[in-house]
Structure 1
Amino acid sequence: MSDWLKLLLLGILSVVFGIVILGAPVVASVAITTLTGILLLIGGGAQIVGGFTVEGAWGKIFAIIMGIVMALLGWSFLSNPLAGTLSLAMVVMILFAAGGIARIILSFQMRGTQLFWPTLISGLLSLALAVYIFSNATAGLALSLLGILMGIEMLFNGFGLIFAAFFVKRNGPTAQQPT
């Protein structure tokens, strides 16, 4: 099977999954939270085991405590996935707000350049999105936020792969290698 056809099929598959995820964003959000919980449990267990190999008493204690915290957080996500989903949505909201504020501050340092307005607008949009998430957290948006973001990312990824497939088909396999 040719490279461009593989990219095309992966792109189509990603678009289909994106549509499915957007059709059930709460289910996708809970699945993301469950997977996060599993990974935190595994990571916490590995951190605890690895903590016993750390040199120095304080380093060992810190590593083991961090492993316990990670494992407890993972267990919390697995035992109550809806609350975990809300927690992760709030983390995303905080990250949007922090990124927006940082870009707004950065934009004023770029005043007088062509990057001022795009950076300012980007920061304001991120901040507005954080405010929107915060104001609609009780309206169920927080429960579906992770699924919506994942579905949108799957769509963007799929369309990007489809466009890349047509580029590779038109320009041949040599277009993939930088010169």
Structure 2
Amino acid sequence: MTGRILWIVIGILSVLAGILALANPFMATLTAERFAGWSFIFIGGLQIGAAFQTVGWAGRIWVILLGLACILLGVFLLLNPLAGIVSLTFAAAVTFIIAGIFKIVLAMDLRGTPAFWLMMLSGLVSVVLGAMVLGNFPASAATLLGILLAVELISTGVSMVALSTTREATRH
């Protein structure tokens, strides 16, 4: 299979997965929550393993404690999926608001440039999205993560198909 065809296949599969996630956002939300749980456990285990590569016990203890915290978070997410969904949704909403505020502040530094209005608009959209999630919280928890996953999959799929048309991608 040529590189170009492989990029197209990956893109199409990603778009289809995104459409499936949009068709059942609660299951996609649950899948995203489960993936996050297992990821925290895996990362925590790697951190504990890496702790034995650090010099001195002071640094090693902190890395081990951080690894244990990640593992505990992952176990919490896996054992309490609904609470995990609510927690992750709340974290996403707060992240949207904080990122939006930072973008608005950055836009102020960009006054007089073509990027000002785009950055300001992006910041305002992020703040409004975060406020919408919090305004409909905890009901928004049932679908938000799944919708975000779906949008990411569709966006990635479209970019992969677009990448397949570039000369650099077709050379490999």
Distance in structure 2 (CA, Å) of the matches to 1:61 and 1:93: 33
Change (3 A) 1:162 1:42: closer
Name the counterpart of 2:4. Answer: 4
Q: Give the conservation status (yes or no) of the 8 Å contact 2:86–2:138.
A: no
Change (3 A) 1:66 1:19: same
SS at match of 2:138: helix
* Superposition deviation, residue 53 in structure 1: 4.4
For residues 6-155 of structure 1, the aligned pairs below 5 Å read 6-139=6-139, 141-155=140-154
* Superposition deviation, residue 127 in structure 1: 0.5
Question: What TM-score results when the alignment is normalised by the length of structure 2?
Answer: 0.88
Change (3 A) 1:160 1:61: closer
* Superposition deviation, residue 54 in structure 1: 3.0
Cα deviations across residues 21-73 of structure 1 (Å, max 9, x unaligned)? 11111111111111211121222233234334432232122112112111111
Unaligned regions of 5+ residues in structure 2, if any? none
State the superposition RMSD in angstroms: 1.8
Question: What TM-score results when the alignment is normalised by the length of structure 1?
Answer: 0.85
Q: Please list every run of at least 4 consecutive aligned residues from structure 1 whose deviation after the TM superposition is greater than 3 angstroms.
A: none
* Superposition deviation, residue 124 in structure 1: 0.5
Identity of aligned residues (%): 34
Unaligned regions of 5+ residues in structure 1, if any? 169-174
Name the counterpart of 1:171. Answer: none
Amino acid at match of 2:54: V
Amino acid at match of 2:58: W
| Greater gyration radius | 1
